[in-house]
Amino acid sequence: MPDEIIIRESNDNAYIYKATLKVMLEQDYLKDSAVYNFKDDRLKVLNEYSSQLIRELITPKLTKK
């Protein structure tokens, strides 16, 4: 999703100095969605574990690039 954008406008043009994207997991974006409410506790634990790994290992690298 869009994150920080810095634009400078003049009379006849505009300059984009910075435009970044915020990298998120779908479940973080949809916070209260029923899609990620698991009835089976094992699936819930597995999802939480894998999501945490992605947040710690992959998301920072994607954000940096």
pLDDT digits (tens, 9 = 90+) for 12-61: 999 999 888 888 888 777 776 656 677 888 888 888 898 899 989 988 88
User: How much is the pLDDT for 37?
Assistant: 72
Write down the pTM of the prediction.
0.59
Q: Give residue 16's pLDDT.
A: 92
Query: CB–CB of 36/27 below 8 Å?
Result: yes
pLDDT for position 15: 93
Q: What is the pLDDT of residue 33?
A: 62
Cβ proximity of 25 and 47 under 8 Å: no
What is the structure's pLDDT at 32? 63
For the chain, how many residues are written? 65
